[in-house]
A and B are shown apart, each in its own frame.
Chain A
Amino acid sequence: MVLVFAESQKGEFKKAAMEAVYYGHKTAEILGTECAALTLGPVNNAAVLGQYGANKVYNVGDDSLAQFDSQVYTAVIAAVADQIGANVVIVSHSSTGKSLQGRLAAKLDAGSVSGVNHLPTNDGSFKVKKNVFSGKAIAEYEISSDKKVLSLMGNSLKPEAVGSDATVESLAVEVPASRIKVKEVNTVEGTVPLPEAELVVSAGRGMKGPENWGIIDEMAEILNATTACSRPVADVGWRPHHEHVGQTGIAIRPNLYIAVGISGAIQHLAGVNSSKTIVVINKDPEAPFFKAADYGVVGDLFDVVPRLNEALRNFKNS
């Protein structure tokens, strides 16, 4: 049995949860078994996970699970895995999932690979791939133990509707007391978080100052994209720290990454080079970013971006 932990926030599933369930469903097919999904805390409409391939959905609805603590979550997920006889456990490679994945592997004494971005192969041995060296290479791992724990990199595959609503069963599992007090959660409401975003509009020092970001926000609004920025821009406080993508910031892999006024230092590329399509707008034709780009526009961003915004708006309205 494959068990997928489906992450939710304030009762709603994250996009990463659907991806993980679909990945779990495909993995179960490869292994010739079934896929169950687990939701923790109060969630709305858990049955919907059936549409993405969960044969069964389990819920441990304890209110205390609304607060994330990797130690508590690990205890509960491992107990459920035990109870239903799951030997493959899959989580999302999100800030929550990454805090859980190693713990689960240690708890279950399982072989593990984090941040996988391909479906496994199982020709006598179980192998799975992930990006390593900050996207500069791909490594294949073999897991030899019976128990396996994987975390799935966001935007690695597109979840498809493959089934119908599943039955949801509440499980009574002992929930240990947390040793952590969550004092505050500060997140930007109403935008897709960067690691989940399919479209990202990012800008750097070429913007000359925070007061010029209007054209970037406008492009993001037209495309319904998430905004990001380069490290120097976050360091000087032009943009919030949580927008910083790159080696020391967040690593992302959207379908479309539009980089405006970013030269493309190797540390920046390390965080974005897994993007499916990269557009670079820069007035310097020698900017290293052009080497990593699919489409390039050499020109003054203050002319090009408003023109692009207009073209995008016409496209959206047509």
Chain B
Amino acid sequence: MKLLVCVSKTPDTTTKIAFTDGGAQLDTNGVQYIMNPYDEWYALVRALELKEAAGGTVTIINVGPAANDQVIRKGLAIGADEAVRIDADPKSALYVAKQIAAYAQKENFDMVLLGKESIDYNGSEVGAMIAELLDQPFISYASKMEISGNTATISRDIEGGTEIVELDTPFVLSASKGLAEQRIPNMRGIMMAKRKPLKVEAAVEAPDMSTTVGFELPPAKSAVKLVDPEDMNELVRLLHEEAKVI
């Protein structure tokens, strides 16, 4: 199978978020960047497992500047065969999706995989967009996938449970927890990654229709109000009269 995995670069989960220029820009000082965990742990690893079981290739694709190469190399170290970076600023979800779809269109992949969302903008948009641009089915929030021939059986998370669907390739899939287990790159993988191809391609034209104009921090939480563990009637009273939630 010929598989494409879309990976994005995000600040590490534990990053303290701050902004500069009066909320215009993310303060990148001291921010540690990682590969978006949903892309890496679940989408990429499941793609590698499929390749190991039935042969094929795994290509990873990223839309971003040269500074992203470090994160892309990690994907190669974990086991992807090759990488493509579309050399452009990933301005909006639709812009990114158009770049990836344009590349995927040329290469005829059996499956395009990505994480259910990126942990920075939490958008969940790009996968659905790629599917529409490629005119393919989209299976979101996949937590389990088995393949037999070119037919996939997939469990996807829905509100309060799961749905099991069956479909033939090609399709686009977004991965949630459970689809695979995180892999740590070993020394051999890291050495081999240096020799694997990382192609850089120019972006296709796409307008910028949705842009971030500013950020703010959520209002600071006031200090916790401690309630005597012996007096739960007081907690109930506070929830009813003060917080007005029950």
Which one of A136, A193, A277 contacts B160 once the chains associate, using CB atoms below 8 Å? Answer: A193
Pairwise interchain contact A308-B236, C-beta atoms closer than 8 A: yes
Pairwise interchain contact A187-B158, C-beta atoms closer than 8 A: yes
- Using known A-B contacts A99-B140, A139-B121, A241-B143, determine if residue A315 contacts B159 with beta carbons closer than 8 Å: no
A-B contact pairs, 25 of them (CB 8 A): A70-B131, A70-B140, A71-B136, A106-B132, A112-B93, A115-B123, A132-B120, A133-B119, A133-B121, A136-B218, A139-B212, A181-B167, A185-B162, A187-B159, A187-B162, A196-B159, A247-B119, A279-B235, A293-B224, A295-B239, A297-B232, A307-B232, A310-B232, A315-B236, A315-B246
- Using known A-B contacts A95-B141, A137-B215, A294-B221, determine if residue A102 contacts B132 with beta carbons closer than 8 Å: yes
Q: Which of A125-160 contact B (CB under 8 A)?
A: 127, 131-145
Q: How many chain A residues have a CB neighbour from B under 8 Å?
A: 94
Q: Which of B131-151 contact A (CB under 8 A)?
A: 131-133, 135-141, 143
Pairwise interchain contact B211-A142, C-beta atoms closer than 8 A: yes
Pairwise interchain contact A112-B246, C-beta atoms closer than 8 A: no
B204 located at the interface, meaning its Cβ lies under 8 Å from any Cβ of chain A in the complex? no
Question: Using Cβ atoms and an 8 Å threshold, which residues of chain B touch A138?
Answer: 215-218
B163 located at the interface, meaning its Cβ lies under 8 Å from any Cβ of chain A in the complex? yes
- Using known A-B contacts A98-B140, A102-B125, A131-B122, determine if residue A71 contacts B131 with beta carbons closer than 8 Å: yes
B238 located at the interface, meaning its Cβ lies under 8 Å from any Cβ of chain A in the complex? yes
B66 located at the interface, meaning its Cβ lies under 8 Å from any Cβ of chain A in the complex? no
Pairwise interchain contact A180-B165, C-beta atoms closer than 8 A: yes
Q: How far is the CA of A114 from the CA of B126 in the complex (A)?
A: 11
- A143 to chain B minimum Cβ distance, whole angstroms, is 5
Of A24-32, A79-87, A165-173, A248-256, the one with at least 4 CB within 8 A of chain B: A248-256
Q: Is the interface of A mostly helix, strand, loop or mixed?
A: mixed
- Using known A-B contacts A179-B167, A249-B177, A256-B245, determine if residue A142 contacts B232 with beta carbons closer than 8 Å: no
The 6 A-B pairs of least Cβ separation, nearest first, read: A102-B128, A299-B229, A111-B209, A187-B161, A193-B159, A102-B125
Contact surface of A with B, Cβ cutoff 8 Å: 69-71, 74, 94-96, 98-107, 109-115, 127, 131-145, 179-188, 191, 193-196, 198-199, 223, 241-242, 244, 247-249, 251, 255-256, 266-267, 270, 276-277, 279-280, 290-300, 303-304, 307-308, 310-312, 314-315
- Using known A-B contacts A111-B210, A314-B233, determine if residue A132 contacts B246 with beta carbons closer than 8 Å: no
Q: How far is the CA of A208 from the CA of B17 in the complex (A)?
A: 34
Q: Which of B50-100 contact A (CB under 8 A)?
A: 92-94, 97
Shortest Cβ distance from B234 into A: residue: A311
- A151 to chain B minimum Cβ distance, whole angstroms, is 8
Question: Using Cβ atoms and an 8 Å threshold, which residues of chain B touch A193?
Answer: 159-160
- B164 to chain A minimum Cβ distance, whole angstroms, is 4
Q: How far is the CA of A113 from the CA of B213 in the complex (A)?
A: 13
Question: Using Cβ atoms and an 8 Å threshold, which residues of chain B touch A298?
Answer: 226, 229
- Using known A-B contacts A106-B132, A276-B245, determine if residue A98 contacts B210 with beta carbons closer than 8 Å: no
Question: Using Cβ atoms and an 8 Å threshold, which residues of chain A touch B195?
Answer: none
- Using known A-B contacts A106-B132, A182-B165, determine if residue A294 contacts B243 with beta carbons closer than 8 Å: yes
What is the 8 Å Cβ interface bit string for chain B, positions 198-209, against chain A (1 contact, 0 not)? 000000000111
Q: How far is the CA of A196 from the CA of B123 in the complex (A)?
A: 19
What is the 8 Å Cβ interface bit string for chain B, positions 107-130, against chain A (1 contact, 0 not)? 000000000000111111111111
Q: How far is the CA of A174 from the CA of B133 in the complex (A)?
A: 20
Q: How far is the CA of A311 from the CA of B167 in the complex (A)?
A: 52
Question: Using Cβ atoms and an 8 Å threshold, which residues of chain B touch A198?
Answer: 245
Pairwise interchain contact B224-A296, C-beta atoms closer than 8 A: yes
Q: How far is the CA of A198 from the CA of B178 in the complex (A)?
A: 27
Which one of B121, B232, B239 contacts A256 once the chains associate, using CB atoms below 8 Å? Answer: B239
Pairwise interchain contact A142-B128, C-beta atoms closer than 8 A: no
Question: Using Cβ atoms and an 8 Å threshold, which residues of chain B touch A109?
Answer: 94
Q: How far is the CA of A290 from the CA of B17 in the complex (A)?
A: 20
Which one of A71, A111, A299 contacts B138 once the chains associate, using CB atoms below 8 Å? Answer: A71
Question: Using Cβ atoms and an 8 Å threshold, which residues of chain B touch A256?
Answer: 239, 243, 245-246
Q: How far is the CA of A277 from the CA of B235 in the complex (A)?
A: 12
Shortest Cβ distance from A102 into B: residue: B128
